[in-house]
Amino acid sequence: MKKNSKKGLLIIIILLSISYIDNVVACTTAIISGKFTQDGRPLLFKQRDTNGLENKLVAFNDGKYPYIALVSSKDTLGKAVWGGHNKSGFAIMNSASYNLNKKGPVNEEGGCDGKIMKLALQKCATLADFEHLLDYLPKPLGVSSNFGVIDASGGAAYYETGNYKYKKYDVNNPDIAPFGYIIRTNFSYSGDRFQDKGLARYESAQELFSQASLNNSISVDFLIDVTRYLKHGITKTDLLSLAPDNAAKPVFVAFRDYIPRYLTASSIIVQGVKANESPAQTVLWTILGSPLTTVAIPVWITSTLDLPKILIADKTGGSAKLNEWSLTLKKQLFPIERGEGSDYINLAALISKDKKGILQNILPIEKQILNQANTNLIKWRTQPTINEKEIIGFYNWVDKFVSQSYHDAFNIPANL
């Protein structure tokens, strides 16, 4: 092994040995080949479920490539990331798998998933780069995880990764993904299927993706809808069809194993690029907080590493403003704080026939963001690369518009 390779491996070993605990509970994820999306761009999707509900976005410049990633607020040094993309157009996310390692998922207690994803964003531009990273990291890896990856060349794959080996599932291979997408919740196809977890959410997602695939409607907008899908995969209960008459009188219903959960802390959607587009045009759409109480916002990697102020936090361990506002509203959905209160949602506070539910007030705010973003994207994609000046202008508009909208709709103080 060359001297530089030895030095790089030593750095990796040191990074992986840093103690940092983030209890990964469950996630719903998907990858869609650009050959099967509405606009021909690959998509990476993660709904993050975790006990650590305080999240933020962070723009990093501590590796070969600058990158934007989802980070737990308590991780003030950014030692682990939970999904994101870098300037080369490489993007990664994961879901905890409960059936790969014989001793169970090590990533519930201080596993290395987030550290490996950080290394990947720092170092990798292609799927081959990521495979090389997995091959040369010291074993055991300390993971039981489904890593999902896309790159700017159209590569798209899952890597079901345990302590000593991984198995690749290529989303562009019709024998593996005949309809151009793969879904993973909390089990791996290469693992012990008697130990599967997350089956209800997997069934919900499969139903949704199957319908969208038939209609050729898999898009960013579709995935944003997936984050809030309220039909249960096993019982088939559709909460949206059960809207109470008004928002004022609480109506509690069982709320367990839907795609959005009490423990859903955030969502990300990475929209890749076509073959003739700059990797800089890769977009990360983030829903920072519960999808039921917050809005989707797109971000790009700029040379100044700017981000909307409502998506970032200082280094004291606090969460981003949008995340805080989301958690404030979430208390209205889950007001029972004792016992099993998190298993019961006040459906009337979420949706109601008098149109005063939280979600019904959130969606119009989000629609304006999406409309403005898509207007900009249509223009920017005709250019060789992103227009950083206009992107920062968009961020400034987002900060003002969202903070004022939350104040007007929910009486949340509009301060940044």
Does the pTM of the predicted model rise above 0.95?
no
**Taking the chain (416 residues) in consecutive chunks of 10 residues, what is each chunk's mean pLDDT?**
46 42 71 97 97 95 98 94 98 95 54 93 98 96 96 98 96 97 96 92 97 96 98 96 96 97 97 95 97 98 97 87 97 95 97 97 98 96 92 98 97 79
Tell me how far CA of residue 42 lies from CA of 57, 236, 278, in angstroms.
Answer: 22, 30, 14
Q: How far apart are CA 318 and CA 146, in angstroms?
A: 29
180, 364, 362, 373: which is closest to 285 by C-alpha? 373
42, 39, 43: which is closest to 267 by C-alpha? 43
Q: How far apart are CA 231 and CA 226, in angstroms?
A: 10
Phi (first) and psi of residue 175, to 5 degrees: -75, -25
Q: How far apart are CA 106 and CA 112, in angstroms?
A: 9
186, 232, 185: which is closest to 207 by C-alpha? 232
Q: Going by C-beta distance under 8 Å and a sequence separation of 6 or more, which residues neighbour residue 123?
A: 63, 64, 65, 129, 133
Q: How far apart are CA 116 and CA 373, in angstroms?
A: 31
pLDDT value of residue 413: 81
pLDDT value of residue 107: 42
Q: How far apart are CA 320 and CA 215, in angstroms?
A: 37
Q: Where does 190-271 show beta strands of DSSP type E?
A: 252-254, 264-271
Q: How far apart are CA 372 and CA 384, in angstroms?
A: 20
Q: Going by C-beta distance under 8 Å and a sequence separation of 6 or more, which residues neighbour residue 149?
A: 31, 44, 90, 91, 92, 120, 127, 130, 155, 156, 157, 158, 159
Q: Which two three-digit tokens encode residue 55? A: 């999240």
Where are the chain's structural domains? 3-410
- In single-letter form, the type of residue at position 342 comes to S
Under 8 Å between Cβ of 158 and 146: yes
The predicted-structure confidence for 126-155, as pLDDT tens digits, reads as follows 999 999 999 999 999 999 999 999 999 999
The DSSP string of 93-126 is EEEE-SSSSTT--GGGSS-SHHHHHHHHHHH-SS
CA angle 107, 226, 146 (to 5 degrees): 25
Q: Going by C-beta distance under 8 Å and a sequence separation of 6 or more, which residues neighbour residue 357?
A: 243, 247, 348, 349, 350, 351
Q: Going by C-beta distance under 8 Å and a sequence separation of 6 or more, which residues neighbour residue 355?
A: none
Task: Say how many C-beta atoms besides its own lie within 10 A of residue 251's C-beta.
Answer: 17
pLDDT value of residue 319: 87
Q: How far is CA 228 from the centre of its chain?
A: 13
Under 8 Å between Cβ of 142 and 23: no
DSSP code of residue 231: B
Tell me which CATH homologous superfamily contains domain 3-410: Penicillin V Acylase; Chain A (3.60.60.10)
Q: How far apart are CA 255 and CA 246, in angstroms?
A: 19
Three-class secondary structure of residue 370 per DSSP: helix
